[in-house]
Each structure stands twice: as structure tokens, then as C-alpha cells.
Amino acid sequence: MNFDYNEEQQLLADSVRRYFAKDYDFEARQRIVASREGWSEAVWRQLAEMGLTGLPIPAEYGGFGGGAVDMMGVLEAAGEALLVEPYVPTMVAARLVERAGSDAQRKAILAPVAEGKLRLAFAHAERGARYNLSRIEARARKSGEGWLVAGEKVGVLGAPAAQKLVVAARTDRGPSLFLVETAAAKLRPHVTLDEMRAADVVIEDARAELLGAEGGAMPAIEEAADFGTALVCAEAVGAMKFACETTLEYLKTRKQFGVPIGTFQALQHRMVDMFISYEQARSMACLAASKVDGAKDARERARAVSAAKVKISDAARHISQESVQLHGGMGMTEELKVSHTFRRLTVIAQQWGDAEHHLARFAALG
Amino acid sequence: MDLNYSQEELAFRDEVRGWLAANLPQDLRDKVAHYEELSKDDLLRWHRILAKKGWVAPSWPVEWGGTGWNVVQRYIFEEECGYAGTPPLVPFGLMMCGPVLLRFGTEAQKKRFLPRIYHGDDFWCQGYSEPGSGSDLASLKTRAERRGDHYVVNGQKIWTTLAHYADWIFCLVRTDSNIAKKQEGISFLLIDMKSPGITVRPLMLMDGGHEVNEVFFDDVKVPVENLVYEEGKGWTVAKYLLGYERMNTGRIGASKRELARLKEFAARQSGDDGRPLIEDPRFRDKLTRVEVELMALEITNLRFLDRMRRTGQPPGADVSMLKIKGTEIQQAITELFMQAAGPLAVPVRPANGAEGFDRFMAGLAPRYCNYRKTTIYAGSNEIQRNIIAKMTLGL
């Protein structure tokens, strides 16, 4: 039993944190958010240089072969910094290529991803599907040697920055995965509540390459979703850490009635409850990442990830709401990072399924 | 990062689990399972079984009977006891008076009391709270006046758990009232419950159980050799005890067991639609949330243990978090049990000798009532939040 990062993991997390402190402070981040693209190619290159884009990619494709636990410290730092670059979307889509793709596909996709030259997005969710991963209406049919995909995907995170999409579509044999050039689809880009870029994606008979076995995509989709969930859990822990620390600092410095407001017991106890939520969330993020890497089967993995997401979603709401409340009116403003952290945590609470979705999934797994 | 127990720890857990399965007497197992009141004899029987095995005081130094286990092994042992549903080990001697004597007692005091605590020869209780001193413990008023070779004690203690079973009581008493700071002038005294002038009066709780008492001291003579540490330094002793490492603050093993029983129970009860209650999404979601909370608490507890093991630092304010979450979970489970029983939870005891009464069902509502105590005792959860605010957050 050991809850620490190993030396390598710690060194990487520290260097990422140093980079964010130097080049990705709140002002820098807000400039990127306000830019036309809403993300920064220069930052992406830096992430690649630090080895982050290759972190979970197997060594034979130019990566470091890391697992979710290896990524935790990086994601925590990203969560603290409110990173808007499409790192998690690219890593999740790469996971699908790694797990489902042929060796030729892995070579063609994963190597450039690791180098930082290729960004991906996972076009999966559809209107009305809510959080049900298997409700896929998009269709794919054979055309000569290849495939044609048609359908509409909603809220595809990172799609505007991605050159290729991994698309979930149904054939007569069931849910399948396809590679589609982003340029072959119509994008309706939008800014998300947490200031990231996503798009609704309309695909009208776009040429596509089958990824993995036709009709057999669900296990890979479930696994990638659990992987993605574990990553946002770690990101949430970083965001919560910031929210707790900045709120605590505010309680110690903000004076009313001639004393710091942190001397009031009503506020102290609320701060303590935030801190407890954060510690519990951290424990569950460790559990999720560990089981994504080392569960003995899909059930054990799914159970741990869902339990973690219940706790993370609840804690994200609790901590984000309290951090704004304890900051008073200032917590409502654009000026303070805490309101942006609030938005990020609000989105994370629903990303990859909200607490209720994961409660039901956890309970169904017995 | 590796969240799993090592092979050695798993082997240790299996050894403990196997031994408990073979050595916990069936009648005690049943009493605990039915939430029945345990007699002094029940408690001591289990104490002595563990003493004979050498496992009754794991945290004590080996020369006094400790096991030499590390913090993780101690945690595993305590949680396995909870999971198996053993009677509790009464903490007042083993976990409180014993450690105090080991740290502050004279050789004579250690030799006189520790073996008797270990073997269950003396049953101890704790005299801290007073009618006017609950969370503000240092405001206590029970006086001890020095007269020659003894003290004369006058005053009253309250909430004294199992005083009606006790042979001895350790007390915080005021030996000097002309002191500016109320924490000073307090002393730690060991008092024989058979001393003339002691009266124990039961305080019956709303669940009908007799656990706690008022203890009155009327000119009780206590030999000076029963003073622990220096006169006026009792607060130092009390503070040491508050920080004393206890592995089972979160009561995770016991809650796991209760949660598993709750699931079985809710599967046997029907919901309004005649289907098993556990399939009712509203009930199931509540239960599942508690299960998730318990998982989070367990991992948090293991994280703290891992840190303690590596740094050698005492747990500090972390324990407060475990107390808060652990007691909230315990209460939630008793509440869900009662909810699962529905209208059948209301009858609590037969009247006029009627027969055919469901003992288990009848225990659920009283247990719900009884468990309200958990967020009040041992430093209320509000006091625990004060501790975290001060010690961890620096507020």
C-alpha cells in the first residue's frame, strides 16, 4: 500500500506545475480563452515537449507507455491551472485507437499524437442519448473498400482543434468505431461554460476508416470512458485544491466588523467541510486511476470509476458553490479565478456522467 | 501508487479473520448481531479471550503485552473485529488509562494497574464531563483538596459510560481554583469506585438503554499515590490522550458489515409496489451514496495510515475528519435500516408478556435513536470541525 506518486511521476507533475506557474497563469489563460481559436498552439507544443502528449502512448509508438496513475499529477496541475487545451479529448481518442485499432492504424495515429502534431476528438454523444454510452444512432455503411458514416454528434470536446475524429457509429452488427477527417465533417463550434472549445458535428456520408472490429466497439468505448472519467477526476482534484486554497486565503485576509471573516465559526465549519470534501475526492481519484490501470476485470474497473465519479461530482458541486459563497459578491465576478474554477467544476460534475448516472451504474454492478 | 494491501498484510488479515471466525463465541456474535445490550460479563468474556491470545492491547509496548504490530496491522485488526461483529473492547482501560500510565505513570502505578487492565481484572470508566462542562471540558468544577496523604474529592461527573460496571474511574479534578487560566490547576486522579461517598445514578437514554450515568463524589478519600503525573498537570495528560493514536476512529469495518446487512435486509423488505425495496431507485440511491461515502472514507483512512507509517508522525487533526465522516455514515446506516423496516420499525418491545415478537426488527428504531450519540460523544462533530479549522487550516 502506497499512496504517493513515484519519483518520476512527482518530477513530471512538478515540472508541469512550474511551467503553468510561469507561462499559464490566470491572465495568460484568459488571453488564450479570448483568442479566436480559444486554445494555444504554442502551449500545445510545450505540452508535447514536456512529453505529455506521449505520456499514455505505448513506447513502440513513440510514447512513454504511462497509465492513468502516471497522468494524475499532470491532470491535477492542469485542473489547478484551468487548462483549456484539448489534452484530455486527444488522450481519450488516442486510447480508443490504441485499444481498438490495427497496428498500422496505431502507427499512423499514435506516433504523431505523441509528437504533438496530431490532435483527436472522440465524437460520441448524440442528442437525447444523455449519458448512455450505447445509445448510438449514427450509421455507417460499406462503400467499396471503405465506409461511409452519417450522423450528428453533439458537444464534441476538442473537435475544433482536432484534425481527426474517432466517431462512434452503428453498423448492422452494432456499435463500431471509425476514423474520420475533421475536414470531412461540418462543425458548429461553440464555447463551453468552462471556456473550452467544442462542436456539434454533422457527418453526411463522410469517408471513414473502420477502427477495430465491426459491431464490437462497446468494451473499448466503456474502457475509454472510464479512462477519461479517471482523468477528469484528477483534474477536478486540482481545481478543488485551488478553490479550497484561494477561499481559505480569502477567509484569512478579508476583514469585516474589524476582524478576518475566518474568525467566524459559521464560516470556519463550512471551510472545514470543503476541505473534507476535497480529501475524500482526492482519495476517490486515486482509486479511479488505480483501477483503470490495474483492475482485474471490467466490472471492478467500472465500479471503482463510478464510485469515484459520484464522490467527485458531489464534491465538485459542494466545493465550487461554497467557494463562491464564501467569497461573497467577488466570487461572482469574471475578475476572480474562483468563478472560472466554479464553472470548470460545474462542467466536470456532469462530464462523463453526473452523480446520479454513476450511482445507478454503481448500483447495477452490485 | 498502489492502493492494495501487500501480500504480508493480506496474510495478516486472513490470519485475524480466521482466528476471529473460530474464536468469537456464537452467543456473543448473536447478541451483537441483534443489537442487544451487552452485560459486563459479555464484555469481559471477549476481553479475556483476546487477552489470552495476546491481542487485547496491540498498541502497548511489547513488554507490557503489546503485539508489536505496525499502524496498518493495528488498523486491519480493529477493522476485522468490527467486520466480524465482535463485542467492543471497552476503551477506558485499554486505550485511555493504560496509555496514560505508560506515558506518565510511576513504575509502581504501572505495575499495579497495567496487568489488571490487560487481563480484564479491573473495569475502568472515564470521569471527564460534568453537568456544566461538556465541550468546554476545562471549565470542570469537581474539586480535590489535599489533606495529608490523600485527596478529598467533591463534585459530580456525567455521561459516565459503564460506570455501573466499573471498578475504577480516572478523573479530571480541580486541585487549584486560584488560577487565571482554567486549563491549569487540573489534576488526573485514579479513584476506586468502591470508595465511600461515591454514588452512581443511571441516566436512561431515549432508546431505553442503560449506558451512561451520573457519578457523585461526596467527601471521597483518594490516596495521594493515585495522582498521575504532577498535581496541576492533568490537562497535559488529557491532551496527550486526545492525540493518542487510535486506528478505528472511522469504524469502517463495522460500517461495512452493517451496510452489507442493510442490503440483505432491504432485499427482503417490499416497497410499495411489492417489489424488493432495494430496487426502489429512491431508496437504492440513498443506500448507494452511503456505500460510496464509506469507500471514500476507507481510502482516506488508508492514505492517512500510509502517511503515518512513512513519516512516523501522529495522526493529528486527520482523526477529526475520520470521526466526522465515520459517525455520519454510522448514523445514515441506522436511519436507512429504520426506513427499510418502514411501519414495522415502530414496535419496540412486547407488552404484558406477549409472544412472537421480532427482536431484530424491534431493535432498529432504538438503534437509530441511540446512534444520535455518535456525533455528540468523544468531542462533538462541531468540536472536531473547530479542531480542523485551527490545527489544519490555521483559522
pLDDT of residue B354: 87
Task: Give the pLDDT band (50/70/90) at residue A248.
Answer: very high
Q: Which residues pair with B215 in a beta bridge?
A: B157, B200
- Find the range with the poorest average confidence among A162-171, A173-182, A184-193, B349-358: B349-358
What is the chain B residue with the closest CA to A248? B393
User: Taking CB atoms and an 8 Å cutoff, what residues of chain B touch A265?
Assistant: 386, 389
| C-beta separation of A308 from A229 below 8 A | yes
pLDDT of residue B245: 64
A174-181 and A186-191 strand pairing: unpaired
B25's CB contacts (< 8 A; 6+ apart) are B45, B46, B49
Average pLDDT, chain B: 95
Assess whether pLDDT exceeds 90 at residue B188.
yes
User: Taking CB atoms and an 8 Å cutoff, what residues of chain B touch A289?
Assistant: 1
Q: Quick one: which H or E segment has residue A308?
A: helix A298-327
Number of H-type helices and E-type strands within chain A? 11, 9
Q: Residue A352 carries which DSSP code?
A: T
Question: Closest approach of chain B CAs to the CA of A246, in angstroms?
Answer: 12
Residues in chain A: 366
Question: Closest approach of chain B CAs to the CA of A296, in angstroms?
Answer: 12
Interface check B281 vs A, CB under 8 A? yes
In tens, the pLDDT along A81-133 reads 999 999 999 999 999 999 999 999 999 999 999 999 999 999 999 999 999 99
Interface test with B, best of A272, A280, A318, A326 (most B CBs within 10 A): A272
User: Taking CB atoms and an 8 Å cutoff, what residues of chain A touch B389?
Assistant: 265, 268-269, 271-272
Q: Which residues pair with A197 in a beta bridge?
A: A191
The Cβ of residue B53 has, within 10 Å, a number of other Cβ atoms equal to: 11
User: Taking CB atoms and an 8 Å cutoff, what residues of chain A touch B289?
Assistant: 310, 359
Is there a contact between A69 and B392 if contact means CB atoms under 8 Å apart?
no
In tens, the pLDDT along B113-139 reads 999 999 999 999 999 999 999 889 999
Question: Closest approach of chain A CAs to the CA of B304, in angstroms?
Answer: 9
| C-beta separation of A293 from A67 below 8 A | yes
Is there a contact between B296 and A1 if contact means CB atoms under 8 Å apart?
no
What is the chain A residue with the closest CA to B325? A276
Interface check B7 vs A, CB under 8 A? no
H, E, C per residue of B92-109:
HHHHHHHHHHHHHCCHHH
Q: Could you give phi then psi for residue A324, rounded to 5 degrees? A: -70, -45
Q: Which residues pair with A186 in a beta bridge?
A: A202
User: Taking CB atoms and an 8 Å cutoff, what residues of chain B touch A275?
Assistant: 388, 392-393
Is there a contact between A271 and B284 if contact means CB atoms under 8 Å apart?
no
Q: What value of ipTM does the predicted structure carry?
A: 0.94
Instruction: Report, as residue numbers or ranges, the catalytic residues of B.
Output: 245
Distance CA B321, CA A279 (A): 9
| C-beta separation of A214 from A178 below 8 A | no
Task: Give the pLDDT band (50/70/90) at residue B316.
Answer: confident
Distance CA A158, CA A156 (A): 6
What torsion do the CA atoms of B268, B270, B271, B275 make, to the nearest 10 degrees? 90
Q: Quick one: which H or E segment has residue B262?
A: helix B252-268
A294's CB contacts (< 8 A; 6+ apart) are A67
Is there a contact between B292 and A359 if contact means CB atoms under 8 Å apart?
yes
Alpha-carbon distances of A177 from A126, A165, A206, A220, B63, rounded to whole Å: 15, 10, 14, 9, 66
Q: Is the pTM of this model over 0.90?
A: yes
Dump strand ranges (E) for B89-210.
Answer: 124-127, 143-147, 150-157, 168-174, 186-192, 198-203
Residue appearing with cell numbers 512529453: A51
Assess whether pLDDT exceeds 90 at residue B308.
no
In tens, the pLDDT along B258-307 reads 999 999 999 999 999 999 999 999 999 999 999 999 999 999 999 999 98
Question: Closest approach of chain A CAs to the CA of B297, in angstroms?
Answer: 7
In tens, the pLDDT along A307-358 reads 999 999 999 999 999 999 999 999 999 999 999 999 999 999 999 999 999 9
Largest distance between two CA atoms of chain A: 78
Alpha-carbon distances of B80 from A114, A148, B42, B252, B301, rounded to whole Å: 47, 58, 19, 9, 15
Is there a contact between B321 and A279 if contact means CB atoms under 8 Å apart?
yes
- Give the mean model confidence (pLDDT) for residues B190-214: 97
A147's CB contacts (< 8 A; 6+ apart) are A140, A141, A178, A207, A208, A209, A210
- Find the range with the poorest average confidence among A188-202, A263-277, B152-166, B241-255: B241-255
Q: How far apart are the first and last CA of chain B?
A: 32
pLDDT of residue A315: 98
